Amino acid sequence: MRLGLVIDLDVCVGCHACAVACKEWNASGTTAPMTDYQPYGAEPSGVWFNRIRHYEVGEYPNSKTINFPMSCMHCEDADCVTVCPTGASYKRAEDGIVLVDQTKCMGCNYCSWACPYGARELDRESGTMKKCTLCVDRIYDLKIPVEERQPACVNTCPAHARMFGDFDDPNSAVSIEVRERGGYALLPELGYNPTNQYLPVRKAKPIPTENLGKPGFKEKLKGFANRIVKR
């Protein structure tokens, strides 16, 4: 089994609900607490497993904002695991989830330097490294209704931009979406073989630019009326 996420960049609206749901869940689960530094101070900051970047692509008026959620990719060939001197970072054979054993981590930062996706966060309070666990303490919890046994970010996303499943199963929803929509992994040239995949943004129709900036009928009428009122 190879569990991971598919994120549809075409429908992500960049609302950060996934990041907040992730923080909420992981403030109470086995990787808790997800530390906040000075939560009520002037400059609150803290540990986040999930971050959403925003990019502007293309030239105005055919430009578009791309919202890009990023967390641990649960790579198949994860150097964060191989460089860890204490064996705290490990990849589970049974489902491919990459985890950090908090009792073994000494916060040396090697894994964060080895991770090209910026997925690792040093918790300055515990002195240990933290990262997305794919909600391992949620997806296997038999007390949770079956349909909710998925990562908190997937459960929460109001745009349904996130999917969770087994990439080893060619008939899983994640495998089908990736196959049919041309899903891709980030930075494949580095050879980490990330499990998480992204679905591309669909091409939008170009906006005609000929009349851009020229006043339409309404604007002309308004201008005419304004001139009369001013006189």
Judged by the rule CB under 6 A, the positions of this chain that interact with ligand SF4 are 12-18, 52, 67, 69, 72-75, 78-80, 98, 115, 117, 119-120, 131, 156-157, 159, 161-162, 192
User: Please, which residue, 63 or 65, has the CB nearer to ligand SF4?
Assistant: 65
Residue of 30, 94, 22, 28 whose CA lies nearest to 52: 22
* The token pair that represents 128 in the structure block: 């240990």
Say which residue the tokens 């578009």 belong to: 64
CB of residue 65 vs ligand SF4: minimum separation in angstroms? 12
* The token pair that represents 213 in the structure block: 């900036």
CB of residue 15 vs ligand SF4: minimum separation in angstroms? 4
CB of residue 46 vs ligand SF4: minimum separation in angstroms? 18
Cα atoms in the 13 Å half-sphere on the side-chain side of 228: 6
User: Please, which residue, 2 or 162, has the CB nearer to ligand SF4?
Assistant: 162
- Separation in Å, CA 201 to CA 67, 182, 204: 10, 10, 9
CB of residue 201 vs ligand SF4: minimum separation in angstroms? 13
Q: Are 15 and 9 in contact (CB under 8 A)?
A: no
Q: How many helices (H) and strands (E) does the chain have?
A: 7, 11
User: Please, which residue, 15 or 213, has the CB nearer to ligand SF4?
Assistant: 15
From the centroid of its chain, how far is CA 162? 9
User: Please, which residue, 113 or 140, has the CB nearer to ligand SF4?
Assistant: 113
User: Please, which residue, 88 or 98, has the CB nearer to ligand SF4?
Assistant: 98
CB of residue 192 vs ligand SF4: minimum separation in angstroms? 5
Residue of 164, 162, 191 whose CA lies nearest to 175: 164
